[in-house]
């Protein structure tokens, strides 16, 4: 995928008379990650949905290389409650027409990679929140996407489980080097998982801050001046985004 990248150019979106996004532009090279953070309702999820092809942009473009496959992880896991862990994991391959033997081998490898061995016959209701989210991650990864989109995937989890899954996601990325985008409201999570960080805000939402992150994936960086400088910059941008009047209010 050398030279490939996601390119978002002058992206805008409205629902009826409500303008949600305005003039969003950025690029994400292959194999890199982007954390998106901003106030609730500022269009972060809409941006992901446009990139995933689930909704159309009103203005501008979101271009992915034609060879890229995408996968989406939702906050509520999105697992089918009537399917076992094994069947939930196998579903994307089944929909693509992958044969039973190949599906079984891929599911077995994913169960091992995500520490889910022994749970394959359980249903989602029989799993903890962290286990359900690991299944959701595994179902997204089993098709080996080039771009993984995540909409607050860890928001409903306790702090310890959340940190464990952050580390799990990072270890998977280190092995696979897919690109990923993460929407979050957690500043520390944004800094830990984003090689790049974008703060959004306003009504309509625009980019308020773009940071390249030297502390990406480095737990030892958490006591450094660079880390605290990043945290301060993101908090300041969020405060500005929340306090600035909307375009409608100024009209």
Rounded Cα distance, 78 and 95, in Å = 16
Per-residue HEC secondary structure of 154-167 comes to CCCCCHHHHHHHHH
Half-sphere exposure of 207 (CA within 13 A, CB side): 19
Smallest Cα–Cα separation from 88: which of 138, 154, 153? 138
**Tell me: the pLDDT tens digits for 189-208?**
999 999 999 999 888 888 99
What percent of the chain is predicted at pLDDT more than 90?
Answer: 60
pTM for the whole structure: 0.88
233, pLDDT greater than 80: yes
Residues composing the chain? 251
35 sits in which H/E element:
strand 33-37
Alpha-helix residue ranges (DSSP H) falling in the chain: 44-52, 85-95, 100-113, 129-141, 159-176, 187-193, 225-243, 247-250
- Average pLDDT, rounded, for the chain: 89
The two tokens of residue 162 are 């959340």
The two tokens of residue 45 are 């999820």
Count Cβ atoms below 10 Å from residue 55 Cβ, excluding itself: 14
**Would you say 26 and 60 are in contact if contact means Cβ atoms under 8 Å apart?**
no
Smallest Cα–Cα separation from 116: which of 94, 138, 100, 144? 138
- Please tell me which residue, 17 or 170, carries the higher pLDDT value: 170
Is the sign of the CA dihedral 127, 70, 25, 215 positive or negative? positive
The two tokens of residue 1 are 């995928």
130, pLDDT greater than 60: yes
């Amino acid at each position: 995928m050398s030279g490939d990248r996601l390119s978002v150019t002058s992206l805008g979106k409205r629902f009826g008379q409500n303008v949600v996004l305005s003039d969003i532009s950025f690029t994400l090279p292959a194999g890199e990650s982007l954390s998106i953070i901003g106030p609730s309702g500022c269009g972060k999820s809409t941006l992901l949905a446009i990139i995933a092809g689930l909704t159309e942009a009103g203005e501008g473009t979101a271009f992915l290389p034609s060879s890229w496959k995408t996968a989406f992880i939702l906050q509520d896991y999105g697992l089918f409650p009537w399917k076992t862990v094994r069947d939930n994991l196998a579903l994307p391959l089944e929909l693509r027409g992958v044969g039973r033997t190949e599906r079984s081998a891929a599911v077995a490898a994913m169960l091992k990679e995500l520490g889910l061995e022994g749970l394959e016959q359980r249903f989602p209701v029989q799993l903890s929140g962290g286990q359900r989210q690991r299944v959701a991650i595994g179902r997204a990864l089993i098709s080996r996407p080039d771009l993984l989109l995540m909409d607050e995937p860890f928001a409903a989890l306790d702090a310890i489980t959340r940190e464990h899954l952050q580390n799990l996601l990072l270890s998977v990325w280190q092995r696979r080097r897919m690109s990923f985008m993460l929407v979050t409201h957690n500043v520390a999570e944004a800094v830990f998982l984003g090689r790049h960080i974008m703060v959004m805000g306003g009504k309509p939402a625009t980019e308020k801050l773009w940071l390249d992150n030297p502390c990406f994936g480095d737990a030892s960086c958490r006591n450094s001046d660079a880390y605290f400088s990043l945290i301060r910059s993101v908090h300041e941008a969020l405060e500005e985004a929340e306090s600035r009047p909307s375009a409608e209010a100024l009209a």
